[in-house]
Structure 1
């Protein structure tokens, strides 16, 4: 395992924490969008047999034969991974690490597990949409509508991989089909409100002690990883912590203010939470350095 003491000290001394998260976090929680595994077979074995469904992501972008089948897929997915979700150990550890500090979450994950784990929804920017909102598929307007309650009703009424026609969501303005916000592709309505709140957070902590905590993001993720590293490069007091299994990448421009941890996300966060408790105890008895040094990656 790693020397987590300097990391815990930086997190403890931060004015705010910016969390970036992608597929690695979802996989740690047992949600693997790309896998044809047992969990996928247990949940969608019938769709796999009938339609050749290869994984969850395939289903999210599929051209289904009818709205009744499309919403059978989506309602089953949302019911299982959102309606029945209970905060996992990794989310409990993350909450404890952030503790009472101001924080913001930027994620390409759409299952809303941050919000369902107690993170403030107004401090979350899901840049590729979420499963818990839907929009007009055209779209004829840019309003987003809550999905969970509707999805629970559809899931309860599903029979044979279809939902009853009267439960198919329709646009309240044009009467056309609806799409889950995350699956709308080029027609996806942007969440301007979340983007503005994110920018306000960045403005608030400009030149402050900002810790960027990146969870399960590979080097190829240009939506989150690249902008986060650019942010750290231009912020003089920012610290970059990236945790990812099997693939840790840090650009040379920020190596001297970064930590890279290659390991299972759940194990690393659990150990960091424990180290944070040690730091907290030292603070309480006055045994804490005023300017904890960085360990260069």
Structure 2
């Protein structure tokens, strides 16, 4: 395994550009599992589980809450759960340390906004499905995305009996209609100016890296998550000087034969792998 880690570090050092692709497996390595009905979920969301019957954070995101007071109780609780410490995990710090001195770009389907929390700059980040701290007009009457930290934090602190006070519920400043967290949980998800700008920055990064030594560093992207995995694999096959590096566990570690000779796969705990990579960096 040491030889494989050394090869990964060499590829990263030699790279002209690095695309970091991240999904749920990276969050799990931090201790956050949005798909699981585990002890952590029951401790933090057990009252929602008992009242509404959903069995995970992700199910809560899609749940049709009967009132705005109840909807915002859940989403503000989720915001608080993801970001209340205000400090990045050791997993994210190690990842940042691994790529911070390189030309890189991050594409992720994670909604916890831990990349930005860690210090990854916004202009190097494309959050495909939004994140838990931004708000949008539910009606989509205009394209602006709003920072929600202050109101979400206040709602998280002041909710009682599974509801937030009526006077804290945000209203759209343009149409006075309802607002929602900027997450792709329904057809209202706004792919507005900010989303389009991030998408374009991602495409520009790939275009500018064409023909150069490129590393596609994939972290915890499940075999079925084609939103991130498929484009990275395609890029590997198209780019002569690309190397596909994937960190995952067990059956989720997948490398097709077509790019096997340009790929490095590590089956293991992402937390431990990143620790080892940073140690030998």
Task: Give the TM-score, by structure 2 length.
Answer: 0.95
User: Deviation of residue 184 (structure 1)?
Assistant: 4.4
User: Deviation of residue 183 (structure 1)?
Assistant: 4.3
| Paired residues of 1:47 and 1:53 also in contact (CA < 8 A) | yes
Q: Which residues in structure 2 correspond to 1:253-292 (within 5 Å)?
A: 253-276=258-281
Cα RMSD of the aligned pairs, angstroms, is: 1.2
Secondary structure, counterpart of 1:132 in structure 2: strand
User: Deviation of residue 238 (structure 1)?
Assistant: 1.0
Q: How many residues align?
A: 276
Secondary structure, counterpart of 2:143 in structure 1: coil
Q: 1:213: which partner in 2? A: 217
Q: Which residues in structure 2 correspond to 1:82-93 (within 5 Å)?
A: 82-93=83-94
| Paired residues of 1:8 and 1:272 also in contact (CA < 8 A) | yes
User: Deviation of residue 185 (structure 1)?
Assistant: 1.6
Q: Which residues in structure 2 correspond to 1:128-167 (within 5 Å)?
A: 128-167=129-168
Listed as ranges, the gaps of 5+ residues in structure 1 are: 277-297
Secondary structure, counterpart of 2:217 in structure 1: strand
Task: Give the TM-score, by structure 1 length.
Answer: 0.90
For residues 185 and 82 of structure 1, what CA distance do their matches in structure 2 show? 23
Q: 1:234: which partner in 2? A: 238
For residues 82 and 235 of structure 1, what CA distance do their matches in structure 2 show? 37
**Which protein is bigger by CA-based radius of gyration?**
1
| Paired residues of 1:60 and 1:183 also in contact (CA < 8 A) | no
User: Deviation of residue 80 (structure 1)?
Assistant: 2.0
Listed as ranges, the gaps of 5+ residues in structure 2 are: none
| Paired residues of 1:36 and 1:54 also in contact (CA < 8 A) | yes
Aligned structure 1 segments of 4 or more residues deviating by more than 3 angstroms: none
For residues 18 and 235 of structure 1, what CA distance do their matches in structure 2 show? 13
User: Deviation of residue 40 (structure 1)?
Assistant: 0.6
